Structure 1
Amino acid sequence: MNAAEIHPTYQQIARSIEFLTENFQQQPSLAEVADRVNLSEYHFQRLFSDWAGVSPKKFLQYLTLDFAKERLRRGLTLAEAADAAGLSGTGRLHDLFVVIEGITPGQFKQGGEGVTIRYAVFESPFGSYLLGAIGDKICKLEFLDEVEPTNKAGLAVRFAAEWPEARLIYDADSLQSLADGIFTNTGRRPLRVAVKASAFQLKVWEALLRIPEGQVMSYDQIAAAIGMPSASRAVGTAIGSNPVGYLIPCHRVIRKTGLFGNYRWGATRKVALLGWEAACSER
């Protein structure tokens, strides 16, 4: 069974999540939501529970303002987050540093000249995504919408700004084992990430790596954690420029009011990611 057969239903799930997000204050019934995605109540309940691991009713709880605010309150303290964002971190953070050290200043300056990037499209519980890697180091993970071109030339354009001189090779076979470890074993395997970034962007992304699955932080909390409490707007910009979705979890940052806010790869997908992780963390 290939990845497309494992996750064929995300678009239906996304439509239901979009409806729940827009109408959670009215507490829509199972029948109402099922009708929106043209399924019977029985099939929708089973489909949603198979995807999220919880019922639509339980997932609806994760979309309420009260739930989001409670998660903000019980998240990392500012002191813990600040310590976690330090340069002496280990685990995934250490892997990030090792990878960055492996990219020479000349490669940065020359736009990736001499660098080979393999790329391909894979399926996930959150739809299709573009994966790019330098050796065994992930340099790009971008979710794709149904209307976006997935031909090789169209996908290659996405690397132009960061790696204009890199050699690009479409190679799904060699990337399959790397892709297999992304959504199935999060936090328990040494996936390595290679990113081109300013010192400020790195500090922000380092802080994101320390937000536990199922928890969230606000932009203000991230700014305080990196020792720049007045830089929440700049933090938002850095988060929005993250080239490696999910693994650098920019989806775990929400507004201090409890609203989920925007997301580079769609607000609905952000809600799906947060709800899915909240369900996983409570099993």
Structure 2
Amino acid sequence: MTTTLSSLSERSVAYERMADALSHLGETWRDWPDLSQCAHAMGLSPHHFQREFTRWAGVSPKQFQAALAHAEAGDLLRQGASVLDASFEAGLSGPSRLHDLFIAHEGLTPGQAKSGGDGANLVIGEAPTPFGTGIFLSSSRGLCGLGFADDGVSAKTGFEHPGYAKDAVFADLASRYPNAEPRRDDAEARRWAQRIFQGTDPIPVALYGTTFRRQIWRALLDIPAGETRTYGEVAAAAGQPKAARAAGTAIGANNISWLIPCHRALASDGRLHNYHWGVARKRAMLTYERAHAA
């Protein structure tokens, strides 16, 4: 347990610097900068940068550059995405356990959902994850919410990461069930973090939504790890081909980021934007998924 949590803590601390590194590599990979150049841009020694990047991403910076160089970005570019966005979208991907997930939409009864969670026994807490601090909201039946917090600005590079402070993320998740009064328990959050980011068993998800939203969320689960789909494509996969705008709203209403992968959904122009927990984090998630497959 100690080793696992230590590993998550180290990767969480490294997240913002790695987000900067992914941005830098995404901008420069066509020039094939060497390890020293990349490390210098991050304010680290080559040895430290190699070790920290590989520990976080699961591949070396050179392997990441090679994956970008061989990425099939042509379709995204033809759709109008920038070279930078296309390189990130076709970056590294990984095997997915998302088909093992189930959406137990009865985790909160319709009555509890309509009453803002009144009578629901919810627990909320924070724990380290590969994408910074995770805020976990759960019930006895499964995970009800997962969001991410960050410090806003990298101390090393000054690169600004969109996102929320911890108290704002706590308030965000709790506000989705305003009458539930969730109990704070960071130890329970750490258990969820270990199950999600270090475990192999299926993750129970306790989530209530309308029939249409559940259809959209299930369509998100069908997107292979590291790949992306437009809102229109997600709507079509859910059997609602004319409902792209409504699909975007449903995707934005997803309470459980990462596990129900709204980070794989793009607007019609194919660009990386409009992610609730920040574009830098969305880019990091897509890159992380591709890294493990590569």
Q: Provide TM-score, normalisation by structure 1.
A: 0.79
Partner of 1:78: none
Residues 71 and 215 in structure 1, CA contact (< 8 A), matched pair in contact too: no
Query: What SS class does the counterpart of residue 72 from structure 2 fall into?
Result: helix
Range moving further from structure 2, 28-37 or 109-118:
28-37
Give unpaired runs (5+ residues) of structure 2: 78-98, 153-163
Determine the structure 2 residue equivalent to 1:276. 288
Deviation at 1:36, TM superposition (A): 2.0
Structure 1 residue matching 2:105: 3-state secondary structure: helix
Residue 196 of structure 2 aligns to a residue whose secondary structure is: coil
**2:119 is the counterpart of 1:105:** no
| In the alignment, structure 1 residue 115 sits paired with structure 2 residue 115 | no
Q: CA deviation digits over 1:176-203, x for unaligned, max 9?
A: 3222111123xx4221112232222211
Distance 2:70 2:209 in 1: 33
CA contact (8 A) 1:119 1:175 kept: yes
Q: Give the alignment's TM-score, normalised by structure 2.
A: 0.76
Q: How has the CA–CA distance of structure 1 residues 52 and 116 changed in structure 2, closer, same or farther, with 3 Å as cutoff?
A: same
Unaligned runs of 5+ in 1: 73-89
Alignment map for 1:1-283 (pairs within 5 Å): 1=2, 2-3=5-6, 5-7=9-11, 8-63=13-68, 66-69=71-74, 91-92=100-101, 95-96=102-103, 99-147=104-152, 148-150=164-166, 156-185=170-199, 188-254=200-266, 259-282=271-294
What is the Cα-based RMSD across aligned positions, in Å? 2.8
CA distance in 2, matches of 1:159, 1:50: 30
CA distance in 1, matches of 2:179, 2:61: 47
Q: Which position in structure 2 is the counterpart of 1:75?
A: none
1:20-62 Cα offsets, whole Å, 9 max, x none, are 2344455444333212211122221222122212122332355
Deviations 1:226-257 (A, max 9, x none): 12223223222222221111110111224566
Q: Give the whole-Å Cα distance in 1 for the aligned partners of 2:232 and 2:175.
A: 29
Q: Give the superposition deviation at 1:119.
A: 0.8
For residues 239-280 of structure 1, give each alpha carbon's deviation from its aligned partner in whole angstroms, at most 9, with x where no partner exists. 222111111011122456664444221112112111111121
Q: Contact 1:162/1:196 (CA < 8 Å) preserved in 2?
A: no
Q: Secondary structure at the match of 2:116?
A: coil
Percent of pairs with identical residues: 36
Provide the residue aligned with 1:84 in structure 2.
none
Mark the CA change 1:211 to 1:44 in structure 2 (over 3 Å): closer, same or farther.
Answer: same
1:131 deviates by: 0.4
Superposition misfits of 4+ residues, deviation over 6 angstroms: none
In structure 2, distance between residues paired with 1:214 and 1:279? 9
Compared CA separation, residues 119 and 280, structure 1 to 2 (3 A): same
Q: Structure 1: how far apart are the matches of 2:171 and 2:70?
A: 38
Question: Using a 3 Å threshold, how does the CA distance of structure 1 residues 268 and 29 change in structure 2: closer, same or farther?
Answer: farther
Distance 1:157 1:201, change over 3 A: same
Structure 2 residue matching 1:264: 3-state secondary structure: coil
Instruction: Write the letter of the residue equivalent to 2:134.
Output: Y
Higher mean C-alpha displacement, 108-117 vs 27-36:
27-36
Q: Provide closer, same or farther for how the CA distance between residues 172 and 193 of structure 1 changes in structure 2, counting only shifts above 3 A.
A: same
Whole-angstrom CA distance in 1 between matches of 2:281 and 2:64: 14
Deviations 1:102-146 (A, max 9, x none): 422221221111112111111011111100101141111001111
State the number of aligned residues. 257
